[in-house]
Structure 1
Amino acid sequence: MTTQPSEILDDSAPETASPERLPLDAWHRSRGGRMVEFASYEMPIQYEGIMAEHAWTRTHAGLFDVSHMGQLAFSGDDVDAALETVLPGDILGLKTFRQKYSLLLDEDGGILDDLMVSRRPDDFYMVVNGAMKFEDIGWLREHLPDDITMNHMEDHSLLALQGPEAGAALAELIPETADLYFMQCNAFTFGGHDLWISRSGYTGEDGFEISVPAEAAEALADALCALPQVKPIGLGARDSLRLEAGLPLYGHDIDTKVSAIAADLGFAISKRRREQGGFIGHGRIAKELTDGVPSRRVGLSIDGRLPAREGSLIFVGDAQVGMVTSGGFAPTVGAPIAMGWVATPHCAIGTALEIEVRGKRLAAKVAPMPFVPHNYRRLKPGA
């Protein structure tokens, strides 16, 4: 059976006449990467096939080029307090060499983007979605104080090494990375170049995201793919992996029309921030925590083999109660799965639903997420 990425070709970024090329463009093409336009870049969607690449990442280690993402650095006096005005997370309490998932919210509490933010010894490092990076940069410049310096790290590539053998593979090149646990990060060197590495990723597997100077990216990619555990993996498998992991894709599962609470992303808003506020969008967050939300992001398991794609309508009887936002065949699960927005009265795990696909109604039910258990290398509590 073949599979296709759930929504990866339906990018929300505006089309450009001539998409940009990644620093590793020739590297991808030389390895048989099939290139497509995504987030205004030409990017590899697959090499030997999405199913094979998905399975390899679940069992070994896959190398993803995510250099289309926006890498930003923030510095200045009281930069952590300044970031708390635009992010709902506990930035003041974020320890050095730690990172966390966070959000950019608009004045109405809608989600402008989701992101990762890390505290480094001298600044903060942030990774935002590629399709939204220029909008994010403009919004941050507008809302942060003038004395906060923001550096768009356009001279850096970003590589993601993901899979159960990722730790052992990277440790062969950089032994000190073996000491990192999930959501920890630090500076390392490779071939005389400075790297910033976090133990994180967007596949549900153990792994790393590696910020590397663009001129050193090819040497690092060559060294990693020379290891028997590692193969290059395209965007198609990255999308099917993140769907199995229950992770939302910006512009599809989340956007400005929805809130963090309804999207089941409330964990990104600490208790202190919920109570004290002081960030853009807090009014809606506070109201929804008190009053509830009309619909929620849920997981969906689907009977049969036919996948439900983005835009498929969800029903209970004759009443439409929601819509699919991401969907596809899940190779690890061996069945079609989806994410979607469903009216709150029908969001309980196990609730029977129907999804309309090609004029047919497919039996489905609300399913717990993740669909495949996360495999992060977590630090034990108290350690």
Structure 2
Amino acid sequence: MKLLYITNGINGAGGLERVLSIKASYLAEHYNYDVTILSLNENHLNPFYEFSDKINMVSIPVTGNMVKYIFSYKQGIKAIVDKIKPDVISVCDDGLKGFFIPKIVKTKAYIVYERHVSKLIEEKSNHGYVSSLTVKAKWWLMSCLAKEFSKFIVLTEGNREEWKSLNNLEVMPNPLSFYPNQSSPLDSNKVICIGKISYQKGQDLLLKAWDLLFEKHPDWKLELYGYANDDFLNVSDLSKKNIHYFPPEKNIMEKYLESSIYVMSSRYEGFGMVLTEAMACGVPCVSFNCNYGPADIIHEEVDGFLVEKENIEELASRISKLIDNDNLRQKMGANAKINVARFAPEKIVEQWDELFTKLK
């Protein structure tokens, strides 16, 4: 089967790129799919994650003002589709332009849309009246255009509620990034949090919770991994409270295996791959029960804790409980390792193969 993925690029360190590297590579290696990934402006060069050598990489240039950009985007995609003649096109672009692809290309291929984020991506600390109207208009347009796809895929049952008007909707969770034979010994005084330093990921809330923890547990440290936006959070002066910042790490599995607790302080999510990654390394998680994802992944008080969203005191309390109780930490870590196996690539990618095969 010829499968064409359309995305902005694969050289970033985000969840979309991570998922695409796993899924596309698995389909090419284990299901003998003829996979092509189309990126914009050479953004397939130097990918952050590893992709199978069997995958074909192509790129189209898109530059200039809005009119020129749209024209080059449209003509570039049409040219690639006409050349490759795919059986299925899967659009991995969370922006508005990706929704227009069924109207851009004339093809016999089935066109699938993969939604990797929640509508809450537009949520900010404050919204003006005009901005709110603009966002509502955008979502209305997306909902109309989404009906043109053969299938519209979301990550969780919660995400399904955001697109209730669609009858082409299916839920497909993200596959695990890795599942090492070893697990963290959970004996280091280290809490870890991974993700872009941003309003969405809520590290500002985590730091407030850490303020409550620091006096009681001064020998524990918090490590943050991700691109930093100093306009949102100044990471240069955090070490006084045993908080350490690092840029994105390619070998992030090693960092999980060196940690004892994972914390996700997000205000909203599309899925929360960091939770599944930590659990695969046998690390118990404490997460805000935000929309959407954590409740689909964590079993409360079995392999981690779900905390009322943005409840800083409860977040600190649950982290402290795991710090204070070695046996509980070990038990939850062992359960996490077992329970998260349901997201193994061989199980999730099999579902994608079934979906693509049924379309044909």
Q: Is the pair's TM-score, using the shorter chain for normalization, greater than 0.5?
A: no
Question: What TM-score, normalized by structure 2, do the two folds share?
Answer: 0.24
Relative to its length, the structure with more strand (as a share) is 1
Relative to its length, the structure with more helix (as a share) is 2
Between 1 and 2, higher relative CO (CA 8 Å, sep ≥ 6) is seen in 1
Question: What TM-score, normalized by structure 1, do the two folds share?
Answer: 0.23
